[in-house]
Amino acid sequence: MDDRFLEEIAADSGTPVYVYYEDRIIRNYRVFRDAFAGRYPKTKILYAYKANTSLALCALLKKEGAGADTVSGGEIETALKIGLAGKDIIYSSNSKTVEELRLAVDSGVTVNVDSLEELEQLELVAAKRKKTTSISFRINPGIDPKTHPKIATGLKSSKFGLHIVGGSALEAYRRAKEMKHLEIAGIHTHIGSQITDASPFVEAADKLMEFAALLKKELEMRLDYVDLGGGLGIPYHNEKAVTPDELAQAVVSVVTEWTKSLGYEPELWLEPGRYIVANAGLLLSRVQTVKTTPCKKIINLDAGFNTLIRPAMYDAYHRITVVGKTGETASEKYDVAGSVCESGDIFAKDRELPKTEAGDLIVIHDAGAYGYAMASRYNSRPMPPEVLIRKNGTYENIRERETMKDLYRGQKIPKDLL
Ligand SMILES: Cc1ncc(COP(=O)(O)O)c(C=O)c1O
């Protein structure tokens, strides 16, 4: 991605600001979809909203044909708002409120059930609404996805899903079969995020398909879909990452092999988030000062972990460049610091960059996923705006910068304190 538009966008919208590239999102989506659908025509892609729920991006992906993988009532509402039908939305969470279950039931959303207790609660909600709800169960396959521990979800010890080992997953299907208001549609797993190796996905696919075969044998059950979740990582730092094509080749061959013994072909559902939007977005931030201390040089930005939390939360690496200086040699070493009043708010340590000065514009790359979506107002800083560079070469503001009014909204000072 070149620096075109960035000075202009910063001048128009101020900094920090998130910038997304429409053509890149479309390209990523199509590469992912074609890799799987080209090998397994009964493929359905549900974009994982948690990666980035900006309405414009969700609408763009709907236009491309993506359904929605949601993890809260808010995300269900977002998917409905952009016009998705309930049948194209799946709702997963380890802890769903009754209000969220009601919303899912009323909107015809497929509920991905996480526990036996939740199964009972959902049956009750559906019965009260006199509706039939389509369900799957989230399976915990007990697999090490070889990623950061905070985003590993398929481990035996994680809080997610029902376990095959010990029999609770089979018991869940057995009980669900008896329930009047629930219709068993599928099986689901999501083993983690930022996974760059195909082998954990292959292992998960194998375990899920083996379990689908067990469901057929034990309960004469036929599933409409097998959902393998999301998790495909991107190379943030030139590391080797499995491509959608390589991943699809490995996973689809396992699924196809199992369909022979199953005797039927379920749909294959996938929930990519990061892969679709991560490298299609960047965070633009202005250098406020460059400080020299006895041990280092520090670039102080107007963004912080309130804007992009990944480096502080996961020690994540993001490529950093300086607008207008990409051709220059990286001659200096800097710590790139955020503006939050905490020592942990550092975007990069000892990063080699061209000589950088106050007023320069810094690009933090690959920030399209889990960037804005995880941002906060910590330190009383209003949320940043978002801009979409359209495929026709124009750009549009897709979210306004918040003002202090937004921070005060809904707050009250008791009369005696005024
Ligand atoms: C249930 C579920 N599906 C899909 C995803 C998307 O993962 P990723 O953005 O790594 O593709 C997540 C994120 O962790 C998730 O929790």
* Domains and their CATH numbers in the chain: 85-270 (3.20.20.10), 280-407 (2.40.37.10)
Does the CB atom of residue 273 touch ligand 1 within 6 A?
yes
Whose C-alpha lies nearest to ligand 1, atom 5?
A: 230
Neighbours of 24 (CB within 10 A): 19
Cis preceding-peptide flag for 16 (omega within 30 of 0): yes
State whether the beta carbon of 50 lies less than 6 angstroms from ligand 1.
Answer: yes
Amino acid at position 361, single letter: L
Mutation probe of ligand 1 site: the residue of 25, 71, 313 with most atoms within 8 A of C-beta: 71
Q: If you take atom 13 of ligand 1, which residue's CA is the nearest one?
A: 193
Kindly report the protein residue whose alpha carbon is nearest to atom 14 of ligand 1.
193
Say whether 412 sits in a helix, a strand or coil.
coil
Q: What angle do CA 269, 273, 277 make, to 5 degrees?
A: 135
Q: Which atom of ligand 1 is nearest to the CA of 188?
A: 1
Closest CA to 368 of 14, 19, 67, 87: 19
**How large is the C-alpha radius of gyration of the chain?**
23
Counting ligand 1 atoms within 8 A of each CB, the residue from 114, 271, 313, 372 with the most, and so the one to mutate, is 271
For residue 235, say if its preceding peptide bond is cis, omega within 30 degrees of 0.
no
Q: Is 295 tagged catalytic? A: no
Testing ligand 1's pocket by substitution, the residue of 190, 196, 269 carrying the most ligand atoms inside 8 A of its CB is 190
From first to last of its 418 residues, the chain has per-residue pLDDT tens of 678 899 999 999 999 999 999 999 999 999 999 999 999 999 999 999 999 999 999 999 999 999 999 999 999 999 999 999 999 999 999 999 999 999 999 999 999 999 999 999 999 999 999 999 999 999 999 888 777 777 777 778 888 899 999 999 999 999 999 999 999 999 999 999 999 999 999 999 999 999 999 999 999 999 999 999 999 999 999 899 999 999 999 999 999 999 999 999 999 999 999 999 999 999 999 999 999 999 999 999 999 999 999 999 999 999 999 999 998 999 999 999 999 999 999 999 999 999 999 999 999 999 999 999 999 999 999 999 999 999 999 999 999 999 999 999 999 999 999 9
Q: Is 310 in the pocket of ligand 1 (CB under 6 A)?
A: no
Three-state secondary-structure class, residue 12? helix
Q: Which of 157, 240, 341, 418 is catalytic?
A: 341
